[in-house]
Amino acid sequence: MTGDLEKMKQFSEMRNRAEDLLRQQMASAQTTGSPLSAAGTIRALHELSVHQIELEMQNEELQRVLGEAEAARACTARLERQVRDLTAELEVVRRELAAVRQRG
């Protein structure tokens, strides 16, 4: 969970930096007197739309990989429990064998 919170914090910081950069760029465009032309606006909208789709695709892939990682984590936990159980059973068998050997 801590890793998830850290990632969320990183994404939030990245978004804040991107918003700050956009504000700076907008302010720079206004001070230089170079507003976007209609064609520039259409290109920018196209680029933003493409980028949005790319991000959605990346998010889908991240969600898929996260699901796989969670399944692997659950499998690992199950295997660790089985190893502990088998180790405990082995110890019981060893004690019983030692007791049988002592009785001769």
Tokens of 31: 């001070």
Res. 34: pLDDT tops 80? no
Res. 36: pLDDT tops 70? no
- Vertex 64, ends 59 and 65: CA angle to 5°? 95
Considering the entire predicted model, what is its pTM? Answer: 0.53
Q: Quick check: 83 and 90 in contact, CB under 8 A?
A: no
Res. 29: pLDDT tops 80? no
Tokens of 41: 């606006």
Res. 90: pLDDT tops 80? yes
pLDDT over 90 for what percent of the chain?
A: 52
